[in-house]
């Protein structure tokens, strides 16, 4: 600390940790997700004291996932608080996942004594956290002096939500947290960040180029990504799509941006539209693995791309983008809607007819699967039971993780409102489930239905205690087929150990919630599942439904088995 800031006795004394809380509060932070311990316990206590909600978790990864999804839903950085070294590392997976997905989040972590860390003298939970965090986040900062707190918080907020949103690491040293300082002098340094996510307008020439290309299309397609959902430009996106009549394909978390039963949805004709579209608009979606990189048998190799993205570095990542539009999607869509007076684009109805024929065939195939009478249930007749209940609801969040549970739920359960489907995202990561469920319930106050595979649930299952402690209106649904992908794989040695993909086939996940006073349900038939889900949602209480699924029905890796390297084990099946 510099000599001028050493307080004298006439001053009103405070410390770094109080100033950090004041700075967060001044910048509109109303919720912190975390796990306390040395050196941040008092920081959390004080945050709660001044009216910031503190949501304590059982593992930092879930706290981080809750913060990340809070950021996605609210467009404000979600805050995760962790302790030094191990707690910091536990949170880092969530921070990296937030960065990969473009969710705004700040992981604030306490850290040990810098002098000891730098000489590697063996401190309690010693780790050079800021430098370790750097490759996993959008930006990493450390605040060393109380007089830098305002700046540190401002930099973290701007980095998290401006441009492409992402995860930010903010290191608070033990010395900073404990350093005595003058309350009045420090308060004067604090401020509210002005316009933390400034609009970035697309150039008129780029909009013109894009609309001219789109006007030339015979078979145009708009792919909606979660960047479009995040932008909260819902009205202009709807207007543009409906005025032009262009079919749209939602990526997983963009489902509901326009309702899934919208007549222009091409979701049930995905293969056909990717193979046939001649001009494709990527609206806040990346040409990554989830779109087969825009290449190969799934794609028309001669199509043309228009891409709207806030991050100009994204263009040409996999295929040439002939009409890049760099800007935030709210500003870009405003320009696109205005541009329709110059380019009165109308998609040829024959194109939609072709899509509708394909949709009808695929819908019929799906109807057959959903009508299955299999017992024990498979994923489809179980999901039919869930769909029958959820189609009557609109105002709920759907969290979804797993392999088959993820892929089949995405295909079966319609979404009708924007940003309400929260799932494994860009990485296809397991373990986001309970964090996303709790984070979304906390920041919205709405009902959450959280559908997990039994393996996926295991990564964050202890957070059932958190959801009961905070009495959240979350219904956890565990699709229990007793394994990773499936429960009945053999041990190739012929020995008695369970196979690598086998979990306990008769596990009763519903019993877990009973330990914490939540409501438990067990469903072995579609009828029981419909009744259980209806009752669980109506109660608005924390609840868990164990759904017994046939251990033999899962596909290896769900819909992405093609990504598995071919191994001897695969051949043996
Ligand atoms: P999906 O997985 O749904 O296809 P991605 O996460 O791959 O979506 O892509 C989202 C894209 O949206 C990213 O390239 C990101 O830079 C961009 N993006 C995020 N927010 C905005 C925004 N407000 N305006 C414009 N682009 C955005
Ligand atoms: Mg399973």
- Given this model, what pLDDT does residue 10 score? 64
* 546 C-beta closer than 6 A to ligand 1: no
* 201 C-beta closer than 6 A to ligand 1: no
CA of 503 to the centre of ligand 2 (A): 8
The residue contributing the CA closest to ligand 1 atom 27 is 227
Domains of the chain: 2-189 (3.40.50.970), 204-356 (3.40.50.1220), 371-563 (3.40.50.970)
Bridging pattern class, strands 180-182 and 13-15: antiparallel
Q: Largest Cα–Cα distance in the chain? A: 82
The residue-averaged pLDDT of 400-419 equals 97
* Distance spanning both ends of the chain, measured CA to CA: 65
Q: What is the DSSP track for 435-491?
A: HHHHHHHHHH--EEEEEEEHHHHHHHGGGHHHHHHTT--EEEEEEE-SBSS-S----
* 311 C-beta closer than 6 A to ligand 1: yes
CA atoms within 13 A on the CB side of 413: 32
- Given this model, what pLDDT does residue 573 score? 44
pLDDT, tens digit (0-9, with 9 covering 90-100), for 296-315: 999 999 999 999 999 999 99
- Which of 393 and 229 is assigned the larger pLDDT? 229
The CA distance from 309 to 163, in Å, is 10
The CA distance from 2 to 97, in Å, is 38
Q: What is the DSSP track for 315-357?
A: TTSSS--SEEEES-HHHHHHHHHHHTTTS-----HHHHHHHHH
Q: What ranges make up the beta strands (E) of 219-270?
A: 220-224, 248-250
* 75 C-beta closer than 6 A to ligand 1: no
The CA distance from 212 to 210, in Å, is 5
The residue-averaged pLDDT of 443-472 equals 98
| pLDDT tops 80 at residue 255 | yes
Best mutation site among 163, 198, 227, 249 for ligand 1 pocket (most ligand atoms within 8 Å of CB)? 227
pLDDT, tens digit (0-9, with 9 covering 90-100), for 52-62: 999 999 999 99
Cα Rg of the chain, angstroms: 25
Q: Which of the ligands is closest to the CA of residue 405?
A: 2
The CA distance from 208 to 214, in Å, is 10
* 164 C-beta closer than 6 A to ligand 1: yes
Which helix or strand (DSSP H or E) is residue 545 part of? strand 543-548
Best mutation site among 221, 288, 310 for ligand 1 pocket (most ligand atoms within 8 Å of CB)? 310
3-state secondary structure of 248: strand
Q: In 3D, which of 18, 85, 16, 76 has the Cα closest to residue 197?
A: 76
The CA distance from 549 to 572, in Å, is 25
* 307 C-beta closer than 6 A to ligand 1: no
| pLDDT tops 50 at residue 376 | yes
Best mutation site among 69, 105, 160, 284 for ligand 1 pocket (most ligand atoms within 8 Å of CB)? 284
* 525 C-beta closer than 6 A to ligand 1: no
Give 572's pLDDT tier (boundaries 50, 70, 90).
very low
CA of 145 to the centre of ligand 2 (A): 49
Give 1's pLDDT tier (boundaries 50, 70, 90).
very low
- Given this model, what pLDDT does residue 563 score? 86
- Given this model, what pLDDT does residue 3 score? 47
The residue-averaged pLDDT of 382-408 equals 96
The residue contributing the CA closest to ligand 1 atom 4 is 285
Question: In this structure, are residues 245 and 347 in contact, taking their beta carbons and an 8 Å threshold?
Answer: yes
Q: Supply the mean pLDDT for the chain.
A: 96
* 284 C-beta closer than 6 A to ligand 1: yes
- Given this model, what pLDDT does residue 571 score? 45
**φ, ψ of residue 33 in degrees (nearest 5):** -105, 135
**φ, ψ of residue 82 in degrees (nearest 5):** -130, 160
* 266 C-beta closer than 6 A to ligand 1: no
pLDDT, tens digit (0-9, with 9 covering 90-100), for 324-365: 999 999 999 999 999 999 999 999 999 999 999 999 999 999
pLDDT, tens digit (0-9, with 9 covering 90-100), for 542-568: 999 999 999 999 888 888 888 888 765
Q: Which of the ligands is closest to the CA of residue 403?
A: 2
The residue contributing the CA closest to ligand 1 atom 18 is 227
- Given this model, what pLDDT does residue 570 score? 53
- Tracing tokens 């830098």 back to the chain, one arrives at 148
* 251 C-beta closer than 6 A to ligand 1: yes
The residue contributing the CA closest to ligand 1 atom 23 is 231
SS (H, E, C) 387-415: HHHHCCCCCEEEEEECCHHHHHHHHHCCC
- How many CB atoms are closer than 10 A to CB 275? 14
- Given this model, what pLDDT does residue 208 score? 98
- Given this model, what pLDDT does residue 569 score? 54
Q: In 3D, which of 133, 57, 68, 121 has the Cα closest to residue 94?
A: 68
pLDDT, tens digit (0-9, with 9 covering 90-100), for 151-209: 999 999 999 999 999 999 999 999 999 999 999 999 999 999 999 999 999 999 999 99
- Given this model, what pLDDT does residue 342 score? 98
* 421 C-beta closer than 6 A to ligand 1: no
- Helix then strand then coil, % of the chain, to nearest 5: 45, 15, 35
* 161 C-beta closer than 6 A to ligand 1: no
Question: In this structure, are residues 52 and 24 in contact, taking their beta carbons and an 8 Å threshold?
Answer: yes
The CA distance from 510 to 507, in Å, is 9
The residue-averaged pLDDT of 222-229 equals 98
The residue-averaged pLDDT of 39-47 equals 98
Which helix or strand (DSSP H or E) is residue 282 part of? strand 279-283
Tokens linked to 214? 């789109």
- Tracing tokens 């950021």 back to the chain, one arrives at 71
Q: Which of the ligands is closest to the CA of residue 406?
A: 2
* 225 C-beta closer than 6 A to ligand 1: yes
pLDDT, tens digit (0-9, with 9 covering 90-100), for 58-117: 999 999 999 999 999 999 999 999 999 999 999 999 999 999 999 999 999 999 999 999
């Amino acid at each position: 600390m510099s000599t001028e800031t050493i307080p004298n006795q006439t001053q009103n004394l405070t410390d770094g940790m109080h100033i950090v809380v004041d700075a967060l509060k001044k910048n509109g932070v109303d919720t912190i997700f975390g796990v306390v311990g040395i050196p941040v316990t008092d920081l959390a206590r004080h945050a709660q004291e001044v009216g910031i909600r503190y949501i304590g978790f059982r593992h930092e990864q879930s706290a981080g996932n809750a913060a990340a999804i809070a950021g996605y839903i609210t467009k404000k950085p979600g805050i995760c608080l962790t302790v030094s070294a191990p707690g910091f590392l536990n949170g880092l997976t969530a921070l990296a996942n937030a960065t990969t997905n473009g969710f705004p989040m700040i992981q604030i972590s306490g850290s040990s004594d810098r002098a000891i860390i730098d000489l590697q003298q063996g401190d309690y939970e010693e780790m050079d956290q800021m430098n370790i965090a750097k490759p996993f986040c959008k930006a990493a900062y450390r605040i060393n002096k109380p007089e830098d707190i305002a700046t540190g918080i401002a930099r973290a907020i701007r980095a998290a939500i401006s441009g492409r949103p992402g995860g930010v690491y903010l290191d608070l040293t033990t010395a900073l947290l404990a350093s005595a300082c003058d309350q009045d002098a420090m308060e004067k340094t604090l401020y509210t960040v002005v316009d933390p996510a400034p609009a970035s307008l697309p150039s008129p020439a780029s909009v013109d180029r894009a609309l001219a290309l789109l006007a030339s299309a015979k078979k145009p397609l708009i792919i909606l990504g979660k960047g479009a959902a995040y932008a909260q430009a819902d009205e202009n996106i709807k207007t543009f799509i409906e005025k032009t009549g262009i079919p749209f394909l939602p990526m997983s978390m963009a489902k509901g941006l326009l309702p899934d039963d919208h007549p222009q949805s091409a979701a049930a004709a995905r293969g056909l539209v990717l193979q046939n579209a001649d001009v494709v608009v990527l609206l806040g979606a990346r040409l990554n693995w989830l779109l087969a990189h825009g290449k190969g048998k799934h794609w028309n190799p001669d199509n043309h791309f228009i891409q709207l993205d806030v991050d100009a570095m994204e263009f040409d990542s996999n295929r040439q983008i002939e009409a890049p539009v760099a800007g935030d999607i709210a500003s870009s869509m405003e320009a696109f809607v205005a541009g329709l007076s110059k380019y009165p684009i109308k998609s040829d109805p024959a194109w939609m007819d072709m899509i509708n024929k394909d949709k009808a065939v695929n819908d019929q195939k799906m109807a057959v699967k959903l009508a299955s009478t299999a017992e024990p249930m498979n994923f489809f007749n179980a999901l039919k039971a869930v769909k029958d209940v959820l189609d009557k609801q609109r105002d709920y969040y759907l969290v979804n993780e797993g392999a088959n549970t993820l892929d089949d739920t995405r295909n079966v359960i319609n979404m009708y409102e924007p940003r309400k489907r929260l799932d494994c995202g860009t990485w296809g990561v397991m373990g986001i489930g309970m964090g996303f469920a709790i984070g979304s319930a906390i920041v919205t106050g709405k009902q959450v239905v959280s559908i997990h595979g039994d393996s996926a649930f295991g990564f964050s299952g202890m957070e059932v205690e958190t959801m009961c402690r905070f009495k959240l209106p979350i219904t956890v649904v565990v699709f229990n087929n007793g394994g990773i992908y499936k429960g009945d794989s053999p041990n190739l040695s012929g020995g008695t150990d369970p196979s690598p993909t086998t979990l306990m086939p008769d596990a009763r996940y519903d019993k877990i919630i009973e330990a914490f006073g939540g409501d438990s349900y067990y469903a072995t038939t579609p009828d029981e599942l419909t009744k259980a889900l209806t009752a669980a949602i109506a109660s608005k209480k924390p609840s868990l439904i164990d759904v017994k699924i046939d251990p033999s029905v899962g596909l290896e890796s769900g819909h992405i088995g093609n990504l598995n390297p071919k191994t001897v084990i695969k051949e043996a099946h």
